[in-house]
Every structure is written in structure tokens, then in C-alpha cells.
Amino acid sequence: MNTFPTLLKREFWEHKGGMLWAPVVVGGLMLGAGAASMFIGLAAKTGGIHVNGENIVIDGANISQATQTQMAEGLAFAIIPSMAPLAAVLAFVLLFYALGSLFDDRRDRSVLFWKSMPVSNTATVLSKLVSMALVAPLITALVGIVVATLVALLAALSLSAFGVSVFQELLTTGEFYLAPLAVLAVIPVYALWVLPSIAWCMAVSAWAKRAPFLWAVGTPVLAGILLSWQQAMFDRDLGADWFWENIVGRLFGSFLPGMWFAFSGNAERVDDFQPTEQSVFELVSMSYASLTSPSLWIGVAVAAALIAVAIRLRRWREDA
């Protein structure tokens, strides 16, 4: 019997609340807010909008057909940034999931039961790692795609109620169908960038006797504060800024999808991105270009070492 898929199922059922229901609830709130905004907008509809031939007149200003097409393209691209609340939820879920991944079963002594099963510690730890790096982001992305697409359609419908033919334009815009694919395409990039963050939290989770959050977050933050204090006291460059950016920022910022643009030096290219002039797959191209960053592969190497430490600690440590 292939035990690894079974271990992945176990992880999903044990963390179903964070992996599935948290994004579903937040997505439902986003959808409800979008629907409420549409109905409020329709209820407040005034006579300042009317159709004049092929143009839409809003408060005396003409909106041409070309502008309506740009509005539709903007709505299609908005599918990606509108998933930001779900990205934040994913970051918090993964942080606390990783911190409890190897600590909780020691705390309640269920680790003794799992060690009695014919499953290696390596397979157990790797199943947790894959669940956090790939499965949880995939579920969040699928929920986000559905919610963001529905919100875009609601926005287009509300504009259509005013006579702006954005809904039809949206359905014929290629970006409307490419944006969800772009979100799914960058999941492997996210998995590689978040790997050291997850591995650090898992190693602390396997080692800490209590309060893994304080050890995982407090240790690098306290080290950064002490380094900054020493730098200010002696008026010498001790690398505090580098530490905050490349250690603390990298450890916890990588939980947020899209932060690889900042860590790989592509932030300016993203700022110059024009949704109505460039394809969303240029963002995908820039994301995969970040794989050439030395920072990424240094992080992957560190993550491999930390995962090895977590496996060894789980093999020998049963106290909590």
C-alpha cells in the first residue's frame, strides 16, 4: 500500500479547518461584500449615466467602446490582486500549521501511536511539508479563483446595469480565462520560496518543549533587536539592516504569496506592469525568472538541512 497519499489525506483531515474552511469562509465574506456593493450601487443609481450611440455618458463624460474594453481587461486582471485577503489567510494558516506540525502530537502524546504504525519519520515529516508547501496553497488558489471570478462578474453585471457593456467584453477577454491559470502556474514558485520558512518552523516545532511560536518568531526578532541596538550603541555597521531584510523578512515574509518579487529584485518590474497592455503571463514569466536568484537556492539548501534536523528530532524526541 502506498502510504504517502494516505499521510497526505491524514494531514488534510486533521487540518481541514485551516486548509479548507478558513479560505472558504473568507471567500464567502468577500463574495458577500461584493454582492452588497453591487446592490447598494444599483439602489443609488442616478440619472447621470445614459447611452449615447456607442458611447456611455457618465456625468457628461463620454466613455468610448475602447475604454469599455479596457475596463473589462482591468476587471479580468483584478482577479489576481483581489485574492490578496486569501493570500493573507494562507500565510497565517501555514505559519501556525508549521509551528504545530511536530509539536502538537508530542504535546498530546499521540506521537507514540503514530510511531507504532509502519510509517517512517521521514515520510511523516515530508507529508506535512508537502501539505503545507503545495496542497494548502492549491486549495486556497482554487477557492480564490472561484471567489475572485464571481466578484469580477458581479462588478461587470453592476456596470452593465448602468448601460456599460463590460459584462460582454469581460467574457470575450482572453485575460479573464488566463488569470486563473496564471495563479495556478505560480504555485511551484511559491512552494520553493516558502520552503525555508516552513522548514524553520517545523524544526522549532520538533525541538521546542513549549511555546514554539515564541521560539520561532522571538529568536530571530530578538536577535535583530540586539544587533540593531549594538549597531546604534557603537555607531558601526554590524549588518542589522541586512539581518532584518534577509533573515527576519525572508523567514516570515515568504509566507505571503508574491513576496518573491521583492526578494529576487523584480519589484520594480512588477510596479511597471500595465494590465491593459501586458498579458498576466508576463507576471508568471517574472515569477519563474526569480528562480535564478541565489537567495532562493540558498534558502532551499537551508530548508533541506532544517528538514533533516526536524526528522532526526522527531525520531528521538517524544517529550513535550
* CA dist., res. 28 & res. 252, Å (int): 27
Number of domains within the chain: 1
Q: Is 18 exposed, middle or buried (0-12, 13-18, 19+ CB in 10 A)?
A: buried
Q: Is the pLDDT of residue 45 over 70?
A: no
Q: Which three cell numbers stand for residue 73?
A: 481587461
CB 15 within 8 A of CB 104: no
Residue-level pLDDT at 115? 67
- Rounded to an integer, what is the distance from CA 187 to the centroid of its chain? 9
Closest CA to 177 of 274, 85, 79: 79
pLDDT confidence band for 1 (50 / 70 / 90): very low
CA distances for 101 relative to 40, 90, 98, 138, 206, angstroms: 44, 16, 5, 19, 8
pLDDT confidence band for 320 (50 / 70 / 90): very low
User: What residues have CB less than 8 Å from 217, skipping those under 6 apart?
Assistant: 252
The predicted model gives 118-141 an average pLDDT of 93
Q: What 3-state class would DSSP assign to 2? A: coil
pLDDT confidence band for 317 (50 / 70 / 90): low
pLDDT confidence band for 281 (50 / 70 / 90): confident
Q: Is the pLDDT of residue 190 over 50?
A: yes
Q: Which three cell numbers stand for residue 162?
A: 448602468
CB 50 within 8 A of CB 57: yes
Residue-level pLDDT at 53? 46
* CA dist., res. 146 & res. 143, Å (int): 5
Amino acid (one-letter) located at 163: G
Domain range for residue 102? 3-316
* CA dist., res. 164 & res. 58, Å (int): 10
CA distances for 279 relative to 6, 45, 77, 211, 301, angstroms: 39, 34, 9, 46, 33
- Strand 49-52: give its sheet, edge to edge: 49-52, 55-58, 61-63
Residue-level pLDDT at 164? 66
* CA dist., res. 110 & res. 22, Å (int): 25
Residue-level pLDDT at 116? 67
Closest CA to 101 of 248, 207, 25: 207
- The dihedral through the CA atoms of 296, 299, 301, 307 has a sign that is negative
Residue-level pLDDT at 60? 43
Angle, alpha carbons 254-260-265 (nearest 5°): 130
Q: Which three cell numbers stand for residue 38?
A: 453591487
Model confidence pLDDT, tens digit, residues 215-233:
999 999 999 999 999 888 8
Q: Is the pLDDT of residue 113 over 80?
A: no
Q: Is the pLDDT of residue 158 over 90?
A: no
The predicted model gives 27-40 an average pLDDT of 85
Provide the strand spans (E) within the chain. Answer: 49-52, 55-58, 61-63
Q: Which three cell numbers stand for residue 272?
A: 511597471
User: What residues have CB less than 8 Å from 151, skipping those under 6 apart?
Assistant: 30, 31, 34, 82
DSSP string, 246-309: IIIHHHHHTTSTTTHHHHTT-HHHHHT--TTTS-THHHHHHHHHGGG-HHHHHHHHHHHHHHHH
DSSP string, 139-156: HHHHHHHHHHHHHHHHHH
310 or 76: whose pLDDT is higher? Answer: 310
